[in-house]
Amino acid sequence: MKSLVALGILFFALSFCGLGDRLKEVTGGDSDTTETTTKTEGADENSGDGDEVKTAKLTSDMESMLDGETATWEEQGMTWKLPNGWPKMSVSKTSFQYGSPAKGFLIASISSLGSDFPVDTSIKAYYDQAVQKAKDGDYEKVQYTMIDGVKGVEFVESMPEDNSDPRRFQWIGYRTYNDQTQMVNVMVSTKGSNFDSNKDVYNAIMYSMTMAKQ
């Protein structure tokens, strides 16, 4: 019976966070690339060419929110610090899920790509697409963010029309691990009515992420 309940929660989380739909989205297009960013606590500016990149850093306030366990994805050499009360749901080689309907969900996935995959082109396409969605009102924040030395695109969805629908904070980046180019897709999500009161916690969880690179 316990296994059936756990399986039910897992399917709920996957459908609630919309992970499948996220991974099927087509990137690219001719969207306007005007930068749309909102400065986030714990993100420092980096100088560089082109669009601004923030470096994620945990502040002392963020650290104080993460008073639970450190969730470790051993197969992928990744970790996150979590608040109390975030249970493990399911962990496999390419998928990682922690959380509950009451707290929210941390869901990560890994996709292995060919050595000739155009990482820079792809990440720019994700960024341009997110900027366009921000202009359309679908996202409230878009920025390039460096987490643990890996550049990615960070975006936060706007409040859904129905506040019982999911609202997501997401980061997509690329790393080299086990001699493979991998897309790392991470999101923290809850229903719209609960999101704002937990936004700082979700931001802290995301910025606590560590990733092995080799």
- Summarised one tens digit per residue, pLDDT across range 167-187 is 999 999 999 999 999 999 999
Which pTM was predicted?
0.80
What is residue 206's predicted lDDT score, i.e. its pLDDT?
Answer: 98
Q: Reply yes or no on whether the pLDDT at 63 is more than 70.
A: yes
Residue 141 pLDDT > 90: yes
Task: Give the model's pLDDT for residue 214.
Answer: 83
* Stretch 38-47: mean pLDDT: 40
pLDDT at 151 over 60: yes
What pLDDT does residue 165 have?
Answer: 97
Q: What band does 3 get if pLDDT is binned at 50, 70 and 90?
A: very low
Supply the pLDDT for residue 50: 45
The hierarchical CATH code for the domain 2-211 is 3.40.1000.10
pLDDT higher at 16 or 71: 71
Alpha-helix residue ranges (DSSP H) falling in 109-150? 119-135
Which residue is associated with the tokens 């629908």? 165
Looking at residue 196, what is its pLDDT?
A: 97
* Pairwise CA distance, residues 167 & 15, whole Å: 12
Flag whether pLDDT at 33 surpasses 70: no
Residue with tokens 């790393």: 175
CA-CA-CA-CA torsion sign (159, 160, 166, 172): negative
Strands 139-147 and 53-56: parallel
Residue in 168, 119, 124, 159 with CA at minimum distance from that of residue 144: 124
Distance CA 15, CA 138 (A): 19
